[in-house]
């Protein structure tokens, strides 16, 4: 099973700042990595798929990069609605696995 | 508008059974593989099970294999999860989630329901 390790655990920033979230895989997942946003009491929402592709309706301030074992989710100029927990997920190998999450706090 | 609505959660004793249902609308259900993903209180996400669009391929996480059964009825736009031999550690919000393709091979979950809470406790 591929283990995904996210860092930092919590990131405290202010609206307008830039957020950089990391996800490291225990073995290569090629570009088969995605990111989800989850707000309190809500279901996760797909943000990025296959490392760098924005999902439907996701603003351009969200971008993803990386391949192999190291991936980054970048949010330029944070909006108040961006503060949430972000999870990475790999689809390279059975079983699908998720990272433990990064909480993005104001 | 794509909608996935889960139901059937509740309180059950250890060793008991429960059947979850997910009714979908807003897309052609028979074109998509479907999944159950769970989230224990205050914890992260865990994939539980996947079923291909025609039910030909079914997969389970090791933690539930032999106890849970996923199924679907394309005529009723419905996905099911029959859970038996429930354990305290199965306590979680269970989400129904769609794959973007018909295959049950690993993919990303592009739409999710709001979840239904299953609590296993004596």
Chain B hits for A44, CB-CB cut-off 8 Å, are 45, 95, 109, 112
Question: In the numeric block, which tokens belong to residue A32?
Answer: 């088969």
Q: What is the pLDDT along chain B (122 residues), one digit of tens a residue?
A: 999 999 999 999 999 999 999 999 999 999 999 999 999 999 999 999 999 999 999 999 999 999 999 999 999 999 999 999 999 999 999 999 999 887 878 899 999 999 999 999 99
- The tens digit of pLDDT for each residue in A54-64 reads 999 999 999 99
- pLDDT at residue number A94: 87
Residues of A with CB under 8 A from a CB of B: 32, 34, 36, 42-46, 49-50, 55-56, 87, 89-101
- The tens digit of pLDDT for each residue in B56-68 reads 999 999 999 999 9
Closest CB to A101: pick one of B44, B112, B115.
B44
Q: What percent of chain A has pLDDT over 90?
A: 97
C-beta of residue A31 within 8 angstroms of C-beta of residue A48: no
- The tens digit of pLDDT for each residue in B103-116 reads 878 899 999 999 99
Query: For residue B46, how many C-alpha atoms fall within 13 Å in the half-sphere facing its CB?
Result: 18
């Amino acid at each position: 099973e591929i283990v995904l390790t996210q860092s930092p655990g919590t990131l405290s920033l202010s609206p307008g700042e830039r957020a950089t979230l990391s996800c490291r895989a225990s073995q290569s997942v090629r570009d088969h990595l995605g990111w989800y946003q989850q707000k309190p009491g809500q279901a996760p929402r797909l943000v990025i798929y296959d490392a760098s592709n924005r999902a439907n309706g996701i603003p351009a301030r969200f971008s993803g990069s990386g391949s192999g074992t190291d991936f980054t989710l970048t949010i330029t100029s944070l909006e108040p609605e961006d503060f949430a927990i972000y999870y990475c997920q790999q689809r390279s190998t059975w079983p699908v696995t998720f990272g433990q999450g990064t909480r993005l706090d104001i | 508008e794509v909608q996935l609505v889960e139901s059937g959660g509740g309180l059950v004793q250890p060793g008991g059974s429960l059947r979850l249902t997910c009714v979908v609308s807003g897309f052609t259900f028979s074109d998509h593989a479907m999944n159950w993903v769970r989230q224990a209180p205050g914890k992260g996400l865990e994939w539980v099970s996947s079923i291909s669009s025609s039910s030909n391929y079914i997969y389970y996480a090791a933690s539930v294999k032999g106890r849970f059964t996923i199924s679907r009825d394309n005529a009723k736009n419905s996905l099911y999860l029959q859970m038996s031999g429930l354990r305290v550690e199965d306590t979680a919000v269970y989400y129904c989630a769609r794959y973007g393709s018909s295959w049950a091979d690993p993919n990303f979950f592009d739409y999710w329901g709001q979840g239904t809470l299953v609590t296993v406790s004596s």
